[in-house]
């Protein structure tokens, strides 16, 4: 029905060398990102021209179902990941992109420590889901779009430079 095995390299060459910023090194999110990026052929380097900057990652929990007496029975965990692509000056090229994902889990009031263990697992799965969505975003970017964004960013930088002395 028209489906074909995915073809060769999905990331444009400019994105194959990236600096990853905004995540704490060694954190689960950072590991998930690194693993996903490198397995998609991205070389991570602090001297790369382009930066993949995580602008924010947060999770939020709220009760979604209740027992008949009004106590929380199930929780929904929402994760939001915001990121953009920056040039080496820190000027935004593309984005900011905002991704979100949700998971639900059961609160076991008689076994709080188990619920904490479950929440920990949920957090890892949320991160993986968000990283997957992030990769899909990156894969949709074309070289032409990047070149255009880079020109626009340079123009903005120039404008800012000209405006700066005038303000002084």
For another protein, which is the closer residue by CB, 98 or 157? 98
Alpha-carbon gap, residue 18 to 46, rounded angstroms = 8
For another protein, which is the closer residue by CB, 140 or 147? 140
Question: Binding residues for another protein, per CB under 8 A?
Answer: 1-10, 24-27, 30-31, 34-35, 38-39, 44, 62, 64-74, 102-118, 120-121, 125, 133, 136-141, 167
Tell me the closest approach of the beta carbon of residue 128 to another protein, in angstroms: 9
User: Pairing state of beta strands 50-66 and 92-106?
Assistant: unpaired
Give 100-120 as a DSSP string.
Answer: EEEEEEE--TT-HHHHHHHHH
Q: How many CB atoms lie within 10 A of CB 116?
A: 10
Tell me the closest approach of the beta carbon of residue 84 to another protein, in angstroms: 13
If we measure between CA atoms, which residue out of 127, 128, 141, 60 comes closest to residue 97? 141
For another protein, which is the closer residue by CB, 140 or 158? 140
Phi/psi region, residue 133 (left: phi>0; alpha: psi -120 to 50; beta: rest), is alpha
Alpha-carbon gap, residue 112 to 163, rounded angstroms = 57
Tell me the closest approach of the beta carbon of residue 47 to another protein, in angstroms: 14
Tell me the closest approach of the beta carbon of residue 40 to another protein, in angstroms: 8
For another protein, which is the closer residue by CB, 102 or 159? 102
Tell me the closest approach of the beta carbon of residue 116 to another protein, in angstroms: 7
For another protein, which is the closer residue by CB, 76 or 157? 76
| Structure-token pair, residue 162 | 């000209």
């Amino acid at each position: 029905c028209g489906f074909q095995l995915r073809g060769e390299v999905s990331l444009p060459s400019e994105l194959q060398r990236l600096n990853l910023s905004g995540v704490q090194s060694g954190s689960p999110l950072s590991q998930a990102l690194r693993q996903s990026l490198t397995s998609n052929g991205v070389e991570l380097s602090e001297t790369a021209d382009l930066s993949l900057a995580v602008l924010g990652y947060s999770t939020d929990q709220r009760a979604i179902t209740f027992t008949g007496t009004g106590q929380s029975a199930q929780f929904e965990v929402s994760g939001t990941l915001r990121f953009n692509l920056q040039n080496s000056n820190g000027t935004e090229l593309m984005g900011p992109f905002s991704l979100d994902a949700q998971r639900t889990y059961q609160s076991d009031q008689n076994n709080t420590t188990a619920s904490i263990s479950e929440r920990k697992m949920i957090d890892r799965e949320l991160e993986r889901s968000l990283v997957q969505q992030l990769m899909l975003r990156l894969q949709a970017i074309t070289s032409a779009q990047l070149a255009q964004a880079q020109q626009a960013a340079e123009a903005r930088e120039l404008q800012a430079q000209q405006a700066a002395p005038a303000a002084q």
